[in-house]
Structure 1
Amino acid sequence: MTDYFAQVWAGLKATSMLELSANISYLISVWLANRNSVHTWWTGIIGVVLFGLLFFQGQLYADVTLQLFYIVTSIYGWWVWARGGKDHQELPITRVSALQLLTCFGLGVLVTLGYGWLLHRFTNASYPFIDSIVMAGSVIAQLMLMNRKLENWLFWIIVDIVAVPLYATKGWYFTSGVYILFLLNAIWGQYTWWQLYRNQSKREAL
């Protein structure tokens, strides 16, 4: 146990400036998403560019693909949140149906298995199937977040639970620790957005 903590401490001291900068930028973005702030998008773009470089270095190619997806959807999400509502007003928080939620889970499983197999078969990717869980779950969560769907936080919770040990195995202990914060933020975000959604629904009912 002592050797394990010594290894973790050594990893933390060896944290690169790239890893540190990526995590700080993305941590700010995630916190802003929790606050339902439109500024989550431009801060997120900075973070995902930095993470893309980090994951490429670590041969987590599913995560590299994911960062490219994040850049495109963040630009679109930025516009949608600010101007995508009724009469080009701010987009309100809404929910998905039970069928849509089950469909998303099913698609996530299929994408995980398919993309994981491709990475396993044709690349030297580390942990291709586990990495693909992070990618598939993040894509679904990002699409929901982009459209201000309440259930986006459920998928971020799944992603964060998987990502914490995955990144720790790569020696990215700082990133793994930050993802623990992301997990706590996602749980709190689910609660915060639920309260915002309830208050919004009450106002609309008046």
Structure 2
Amino acid sequence: MNLADPNFQLEIAANVMVAGSILLAGRNNVHTWWMGIVGCALFALVFEHNHLYADMVLQFFFIAISVLGWWQWLRGDHGAPLPITRVRPRAWVWLVPVAVLGTFGYGWMLHRLTDAHAPFVDSAVLVLSVIAQFLMMRRKLESWWVWLLVNSIAVPLYYSRGLHLTSILYVGFWINALVAYRHWRKLMVAR
């Protein structure tokens, strides 16, 4: 870790913005969205430099979906903010196969068409993050369980690419997901 290295400086800036965004999401704060947009733009550059192309694409998805998430948290479906709710059990019947097929399909594509590092693991981070993001955007309590899984996969992946600061951040995200789950559950029960 060389503080004068522009790539490391970019990684620091991305970590700071995304850490702020994740902490705000866990606290059910709408400002999570704009901070996330800035942080994801920075992380797209970090991941591109490290040949983690699925994670780079994921950042573009996060930027686009954050605009919609911001609007939904403010306006909801009918002009009122969305309440925190649970995922219906039957939704998992299609979410799990989508996660598995998406991971293997995108991983296969990365393996065949790019010089991606750990294409299937990288793809699992992408696919599960997309699912978690959609669940969080709809204020579904179980989004935090999916984020726990994402973070458990991402920590060793990022560490293996020398992104030690980012892997430490994702350990923090893992802890935050546990705290956020508990906080959201209390908010859901209190309403």
Specify if TM > 0.5.
Answer: yes
> Pick from 131, 134, 145: which aligns with 2:125?
134
Q: Does 1:39 align with 2:44?
A: no
Is the contact made by 1:21 and 1:50 (CA closer than 8 Å) also made in structure 2?
A: yes
Query: 5+ residue gaps in structure 2?
Result: none
Secondary structure (helix, strand or coil) at the match of 2:82 reads: coil
- Report the CA distance between 1:18 and its aligned residue: 0.2
How far apart, in 2, do the equivalents of 1:29 and 1:122 lie? Answer: 33
What residue number does 2:181 align with?
A: 190
> Pick from 9, 20, 34: which aligns with 2:12?
20
Q: Does 1:180 align with 2:176?
A: no
Is the contact made by 1:94 and 1:197 (CA closer than 8 Å) also made in structure 2?
A: yes
What residue number does 2:108 align with?
A: 117
- Report the CA distance between 1:95 and its aligned residue: 1.4
What residue number does 1:204 align with?
A: none
Query: 5+ residue gaps in structure 1?
Result: 1-10, 201-206
What is the total number of aligned residue pairs between the two structures?
A: 189
After superposition, what is the alpha-carbon deviation per residue over 1:143-191, rounded to whole angstroms, capped at 9, x for unaligned? 0111111111011000000000100001111110010000000011111
Q: Does 1:71 align with 2:56?
A: no
Give the letter for the 1:142 counterpart.
Q
- Report the CA distance between 1:91 and its aligned residue: 1.3
What's the RMSD between the two structures over aligned residues?
1.3
How far apart, in 2, do the equivalents of 1:38 and 1:175 lie? Answer: 24
TM-score with structure 2 setting the length: 0.95
What residue number does 2:150 align with?
A: 159
Is the contact made by 1:12 and 1:174 (CA closer than 8 Å) also made in structure 2?
A: no
Bigger helix share: 1
What residue number does 2:95 align with?
A: 104
What residue number does 1:6 align with?
A: none
What residue number does 1:146 align with?
A: 137
How far apart, in 2, do the equivalents of 1:74 and 1:182 lie? Answer: 18
Q: Does 1:80 align with 2:72?
A: yes
How far apart, in 2, do the equivalents of 1:135 and 1:181 lie? Answer: 19
Query: Relative to structure 2, which stretch is displaced further, 167-176 or 11-20?
Result: 11-20
TM-score with structure 1 setting the length: 0.89
After superposition, what is the alpha-carbon deviation per residue over 1:127-147, rounded to whole angstroms, capped at 9, x for unaligned? 000000100010000001111
Q: Highest Rg: 1 or 2?
A: 1
Secondary structure (helix, strand or coil) at the match of 2:87 reads: coil
After superposition, what is the alpha-carbon deviation per residue over 1:51-103, rounded to whole angstroms, capped at 9, x for unaligned? 000000101010111011101100000000001144x1211111111111232
How far apart, in 2, do the equivalents of 1:192 and 1:46 lie? Answer: 25
How far apart, in 2, do the equivalents of 1:58 and 1:171 lie? Answer: 9
Give the letter for the 1:159 counterpart.
V
How far apart, in 2, do the equivalents of 1:147 and 1:175 lie? Answer: 27
